[in-house]
């Protein structure tokens, strides 16, 4: 029997992405602190946090494969998370306006056996470059007033109203939304979790 697939995230965007694949899974949000010592690069940071989230949930599961994920936006080496308030959202968007920035999303898979012992783990990340249009103050304040930016890294949502401000992306679209589905697929294949059941050819 294949292990239960568990999403260690309360993000509605990640659950929607996973649901779009048509595979059964349960949701068990992780409750871990997102502070990381030192000065990790954006790619290192999202891998560390994705692994922390997956491991925190895996320790409470039996015969499960747990998915952890984390996303950050980086501009000129500066890492931007979710805005803490309206003023912070405005500040972030003013910095991103007219600039190409990078979106990093880490994915961690942690497999636990029937006794709750971690058997295997796999951690990867993907980067997508995003070009944001120039925005004036009125546009930014209007967008922040929609509340869409408030729970998103980089203070915008590519899958929502924020798509108005994005001129182009270079890389994986779902990576910017919250979790790269092509990367997740490759990782699940590596962990021997089948997503595609081949149909028999007719005789």
Please give the full DSSP string across 176-194, using - where no structure is assigned.
Answer: HHTS-HHHHHHHHHHTT--
- 5-49 pLDDT per residue, tens: 999 998 899 999 999 988 899 999 998 877 788 889 999 999 999
Q: Given 35, 70, 86, 113, which residue is catalytic? A: 70
Q: What is the CATH number of the domain that holds 172?
A: 3.90.950.10
Report the predicted TM-score, pTM, of the whole model to 2 decimal places: 0.90
Q: Alpha-carbon distance 35 to 79, whole Å? A: 13
Tell whether 196 is covered by a domain: no
The residue segments making up the domain with residue 145 are 4-191
Q: How far apart are the first and last CA of the chain?
A: 29
pLDDT of residue 196: 62
Q: Taking 60 as the threshold, does the pLDDT of residue 199 lie above it?
A: no
* Percent residues over pLDDT 70 in the chain: 96
Query: Looking at residues 135-142, what average pLDDT do you find?
Result: 96
Tell whether 197 is covered by a domain: no
- 144-162 pLDDT per residue, tens: 999 999 989 899 999 899 9
Q: Alpha-carbon distance 60 to 67, whole Å? A: 14
Tell whether 199 is covered by a domain: no
- 161-192 pLDDT per residue, tens: 999 999 999 999 999 999 999 999 999 999 98
- 125-137 pLDDT per residue, tens: 999 999 999 999 9
Tell whether 96 is covered by a domain: yes
Tell whether 62 is covered by a domain: yes
Tell whether 203 is covered by a domain: no
Tell whether 180 is covered by a domain: yes
Assess whether 151 carries a catalytic annotation. no
Tell whether 201 is covered by a domain: no
Closest among 64, 51, 69 to 112, alpha carbons compared = 64
- Number of structural domains (the chain) is 1
């Amino acid at each position: 029997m294949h292990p239960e697939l568990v999403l260690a995230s309360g993000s509605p965007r990640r659950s929607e992405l996973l649901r779009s694949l048509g595979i059964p899974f349960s949701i068990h949000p992780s409750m871990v602190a997102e502070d990381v010592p030192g000065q990790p690069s954006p790619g290192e940071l999202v891998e560390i946090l994705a692994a922390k989230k997956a491991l925190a949930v895996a320790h409470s599961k039996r015969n499960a494969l747990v998915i952890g994920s984390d996303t950050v936006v980086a501009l000129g080496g500066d890492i931007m998370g979710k805005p803490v308030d309206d003023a912070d959202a405005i500040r972030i968007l003013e910095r991103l306006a007219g600039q190409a920035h990078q979106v990093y999303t880490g994915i961690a898979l942690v497999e636990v056996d029937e006794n709750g012992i971690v058997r295997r783990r796999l951690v990867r990340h993907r980067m997508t470059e995003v070009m944001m249009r120039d925005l004036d103050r009125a546009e930014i304040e209007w967008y922040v007033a929609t509340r869409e930016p408030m729970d998103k890294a980089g203070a915008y949502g590519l899958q929502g109203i924020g798509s108005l401000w994005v001129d182009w992306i270079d890389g994986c679209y779902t990576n910017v939304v919250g979790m790269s589905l092509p990367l997740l697929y490759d990782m699940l294949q590596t962990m021997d979790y089948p997503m595609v059941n081949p149909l028999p050819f007719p005789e």
